[in-house]
Structure 1
């Protein structure tokens, strides 16, 4: 497919901007069941070994020096750096236990450290974690894999980037969020233009292949003018990728958000104006809208993968290396192996206790049935390629698409009439004005949100953020 320009239609956005999942997985995490049996995980890994697919590894490091009020991540806020080592010892145990089940020759095409703030740990602890990982898994010795890490630029030592490059990382994801001092004060997140610029320059000199910067719109005291100024600085720094995330104010779910003064939040109208202006500014700077808040340079691997029809989506967002089984380590992390999801305990005591007994720390999970797998394929095509080919799905899953999804196609008729999506002789194609509302389109194919499941419908607003 070819990349296209996003068109802004205020009327359609007003009508379709509802709450809904982000579809980093399907089925989504609320469907996971407690007490998921380890045997299901073991069987899935055995099938995975037989298939011989490459691996994606994720490591969750939950520590942060300070709290960012907007944050909804699983985190532990502490200034005591010594708290990291006992956790890392447990993480090393989990790596060793899981590696016993996995064929050692399988290549690791993707690796990601997230958090929290992964750079909370010391340089020596970073080296040791990567050494232990390389001891048990087949890491790439060159830059053929996509090995990335999330960093908080505020106060990060420049020399730490050299360490990250030394141990194998080739991509950085930098959480900037906003440069405006008033906004930073309101959310307790500080990083200056000078700090970020110095890190970006050092990253290029160290030979990192890609730099991604994250921003959030909808924070207190933001306006079109403040976001325009922040984006001017960002564009001047020339990152290969940029994410513009919607701030979802949900203090009933995330306690830290209770510290945000709601009176400072932009109105719904202003928030949409910020997004519209930002999209226009980024497209004018030659960034391509990949989808779901993500932008990238035309030559970036994400854009190339989308153009070639190979773009994928997982718990870390869009990915260029498809057909990987994801093994996730650390508290709250979610593995996606073969046809199952498995989530670790969300608190450190439970996580450490399981590992101290020599067992893997799985707390929740889900075994996907054939219908789940089929609908996941449809949703992934829509969310990654903005189209769905009936013949491809029908042949792959031994169904007649139009018969199997007759109810869903009927539900799409209002969206077709409104110009969000086109029904062609070959399948479905999302229009330029439908791309921003792709989450709403995908919800039609989400069996767990079907009109007949009233409980699911009622929980949408409580569980999920609005689309924009």
Structure 2
């Protein structure tokens, strides 16, 4: 895979990450708690299993690159108070779910879930276990910040049944770490990683980030070599999304310190070459895994799916999400909790749920979501099978998308065949751009369109 400046310049434009379709900016406050309660009642007999998401917004300090909904504080009393509201929300949602629905997946995100003290980690998981029917082989994951972490934190996660941990690394170069206010030594990462292996955690992911201030090819090459030596099971290497109009603290990052275009090309090429040489499979959308990983197998079997937790092997699950800003999902509905911490707690204190906005999607939305998911997960789309499933004439229905894809075919990103659309190896780096061809919302007048981060 050879990247060129012309390709990067042409396709590095704002676009969604497609953890949902339609994307979150199109959610509306017209769809509120009453509509969500009705949807919950009507979907209990759907036959779909459950995936649970818990959002812990707190962090000890602010990372300047962060795009998450978080609260930087060292006042642990805020977390103690938050847990009581979280327990009430869990209780109310659990009361609405029938006992025969099985939880196949649990994920804790943030913020920093390991901001919680070890006893509170155990207490929160025990509350979930008492409230829902969790499968014995459920996938149970948590995001981990190595700073302020203890071996007791890791043991609490292992004792609770967590079998997938994601360790936030970003970059091991000190100058980069200082520029984003996240200083953590390579020796600390190795120590925490060792704790996880010692505790018997079977799957460990590491998060890295490309495009941070002061990143160089030499520095990031050194980071990659150290990470490859540790041999995590998965790697998520995100492109830094500079969105200071959404995240005001990103103004603390000087844009002149961000890598220029030639450096970004070199960083991407370095990443692809080193990880491939180390034996990792590039799934797409920033994700790499060892060849025997479940994500790789699911991609080969065409059972991979994409939702708000990223790539997943649990397609046919409704997501029940708890905590500030958390997003729940059924097959036809998305809902998001209040994004402001005080507002979230006020809604729960009032005796209801924390629903702030949502969306019931149309058949057209579901059809286009299916096309986008298949492209991003399978890396191909069988036109005949898709046409039969949705009762459409594919080439006519997607004539506008096919015209855009023809230009991408000329650039070597896709192959257009009479019976299929296939993403090339180079095209895996441009999945967001390819998916955008199927996005009807992007065709709306520009004044109505939300602002997105750049795709590369």
Instruction: Sort the TM-score into its range (normalised by shorter chain).
Output: over 0.9
Does residue 1:87 correspond to 2:82, yes or no?
yes
Question: Aligned equivalents of 2:412 and 2:183: distance in 1?
Answer: 42
- Of 347, 363, 367, which residue of structure 2 is paired with 1:374? 367
Whether 2:44 is the aligned partner of 1:49: answer: yes
Question: For 1:387-425, what per-residue CA distance to the aligned partner results, in whole angstroms no more than 9, with x for missing partners?
Answer: 111122122212222222122222322122332211112
Offset at 1:341?
A: 0.3
SS in 1 for 2:438: coil
2:254 alignment partner in structure 1: 261
Q: Which residue of 2 aligns with 1:336?
A: 329
**1:47–1:338 contact (8 Å) kept in structure 2:** no
Corresponding residue to 1:154 among 143, 147, 157: 147
Report what 2:445 is aligned to. Answer: 453
| Aligned residues of 1:69 and 1:259 also touching (Cα < 8 A) | yes
Cα distance in structure 2, aligned partners of 1:303 and 1:103: 33
Partner of 2:454: 466
Whether contact under 8 Å (2:33, 2:356) holds in the other structure is no
Structure 1 residue 456, shift from structure 2 partner: 4.6
Among 31, 44, 51, the residue aligned to 1:36: 31
Q: 1:355 to 1:236 in 2, by over 3 A?
A: same
* Contact 1:179 1:192 survives alignment (8 Å): yes
Which shows bigger deviation, 247-256 or 53-62?
A: 247-256
**Structure 1 stretch displaced more, 326-335 or 198-207:** 198-207
**Residue in 1 that maps onto 2:110:** 115
In the alignment, which residue of structure 2 is the partner of 1:63? 58
Q: How does 1:65-464 map to 2 (within 5 A)?
A: 65-141=60-136, 144-450=137-443, 452-456=444-448, 459=450, 463-464=451-452
Question: Is contact 1:24-1:315 (8 Å) kept?
Answer: yes
Is the contact between residue 8 and residue 265 of structure 2 (CA under 8 Å) also seen in structure 1?
no
Counterpart in the other structure of 1:3: none
Measured in 2, the distance between the counterparts of 1:160 and 1:39 equals 38
SS in 2 for 1:34: coil
Which stretches of structure 1, 4 residues or more, deviate above 6 A after TM superposition? none
The Cα offsets for residues 276-307 of structure 1, whole Å up to 9 and x where unpaired, read as 11111111111111110111101111111101
**In 1, Cα distance between the equivalents of 2:336 and 2:130?**
24
Contact conserved, 2:5 with 2:262, CA < 8 A, in 1?
Answer: no
Q: Give the secondary-structure state (helix, strand or coil) at the position aligned to 2:219.
A: helix
Separation (CA, whole Å) in 2 of partners of 1:223 and 1:401: 45
Partners of 1:418 and 1:66 lie apart in 2 by 43
**TM-superposed deviation, 1:7:** 4.7
TM-score in terms of structure 2 length: 0.97
| Deviation digits for residues 245-294 of structure 1 (CA, Å, limit 9, x no counterpart) | 11122222212112223332221221221111111111111111111011
Contact kept in structure 2, 1:7 and 1:432, CA below 8 Å: no
Q: Structure 2 unaligned segments of length 5 or more: list them.
A: none
1:215-252 Cα distance to aligned partner (Å, 9 max, x none): 11111111000000001110011000001111122222
Contact conserved, 2:337 with 2:344, CA < 8 A, in 1?
Answer: yes
The count of residues paired between Structure 1 and Structure 2 equals 456
Q: What is the alpha-carbon distance in structure 1 between the residues aligned to residue 94 and residue 145 of structure 2?
A: 30
Distance 1:408 1:32 in 2: 24
CA RMSD of aligned residues (A): 1.4
TM-score, normalised on structure 1? 0.95
Shift of 1:62: 0.3
Whether the aligned pair in 2 keeps the contact of 1:345 and 1:361 (CA below 8 Å) is: yes
- Cα deviation, residue 453, structure 1: 2.6
Q: Deviations over 1:416-466 (max 9, x none)?
A: 23322111121211112211111111111101001x533256x4xxx2111
Cα deviation, 1:50-94, whole Å, max 9, x if unaligned, reads: 112111100000000011111111111111111111111000000
2-side partners of 1:96 and 1:10: how far apart?
53
Deviations 1:363-386 (A, max 9, x none): 010110000000000000001111
Cα deviation 1:302-352 (Å, max 9, x = unaligned):
111101100111111101122111111000010111200000001122111
Structure 1: runs of 5+ lacking an equivalent = 1-5
Contact 2:119-2:156 at 8 Å conserved across structures: no
- 2:226 is paired with a residue of what secondary structure? helix
